[in-house]
Amino acid sequence: MGAVAMDTTLKQTWGIYQVYIGKKLVMVASGVVLVLYIFGHLAGNLQIYMGPARLNAYAAFLHSHPGPLWIARTVMLAAVGLHGWSSFLLWLEKRRARPIGYVKKDDVPASYASRTMMWSGPILGAFVVFHILHLTTGSVPGLGFRESEQEQFFAYQNVVNGFQHPAVAIAYVVAIVLLSMHLYHGLWSMFQSVGISHRRYTPLLKRAAHVVAILVAAGYISIPLCVTIGLVK
């Protein structure tokens, strides 16, 4: 191969690599925004254990600041779109790079969580759409949603009324288990994605991601569970 052809190949490879890293960075940055939301939303929701007045006052507080609320919603929506789009493009690239696929799946020491990333993402997206229709817009019939009246919000009653339906409670638990697996893999692999990998610290990061994912799942799942067993009513 001549020097000019070699130079062109190197430049092309470098260009492809830069685009690839760009997509990874978009996936990681948007993932961080979503994780922060998931932590914040959990902290807000756990106020359900302080009674209806507290949770409803929290909902009223959020809605009394429409500016920041809509900015947060727009950022979230952009993060969801960018996260889904960049992971889809990266998945396509991976497939193109290895079109034949593995003969035996067992040869790949991938965890269950990592193998579920590509389908748990869209399922979680569908869950969030259902969740917004359920608790934000109250568009799911039969779940006892009560519209806010003047300054009075009924977030507590809406959550309890919804989770009193076993099918709804089960659907939430399943979605949260998927979320937790997605979070576990996403949290530790995000460091690999940006090139941070260490023989000693990567296993520690994995363990930390495990703990965080389990705590998040436990916090969220506790709510439909407590409504189902009658501790929150």
Binding flags for ligand HEM, 111-140, as an x/- string (CB under 6 A): -------------x---x--xx--xx----
Residue 210 in the binding site for ligand HEM (CB under 6 A): no
177 binds ligand HEM (CB under 6 A): no
The answer to whether the CB of 126 falls within 8 A of the CB of 133 is no
Rounded Cα–Cα distance for residues 121 and 89 (Å): 14
Q: Which of 79, 82, 159, 209 forms a contact with ligand HEM (CB under 6 A)?
A: 159
Return all residues near 75 (Cβ < 8 A) that are at least 6 apart: 33
* Binding flag, residue 173, ligand HEM (CB under 6 A): no
Q: Which of 171, 185, 134, 175 is nearest to 155 (CA)?
A: 134
Whether residue 220 contacts residue 176, with contact meaning beta carbons closer than 8 Å, is answered with yes
31: exposed, middle or buried (Cβ count in 10 Å: 0-12, 13-18, 19+): buried
Residue 165, interface with ligand HEM (CB under 6 A)?
A: no
Length of the chain counted residue by residue: 233
Residue window 62-101: x/- pattern of binding to ligand HEM, with contact defined by CB under 6 A = x----------x----------------------------
Q: For ligand HEM, which is the closer residue by CB, 77 or 196?
A: 77
- Using rule CB under 6 A, residue 187 touches ligand HEM: no
**Residue 101's CB: how many other CB atoms inside 10 A?**
7
| Residue whose CB is less far from ligand HEM, 117 or 132 | 132
The reply on whether position 160 binds ligand HEM by CB under 6 A is no
Angle between helices 166-193 and 117-131 (to 10 degrees): 130
User: What are the residues binding ligand HEM (CB under 6 A)?
Assistant: 38, 41, 45, 59, 62, 73, 124, 128, 131-132, 135-136, 155, 159, 172, 176, 179, 220, 223-224
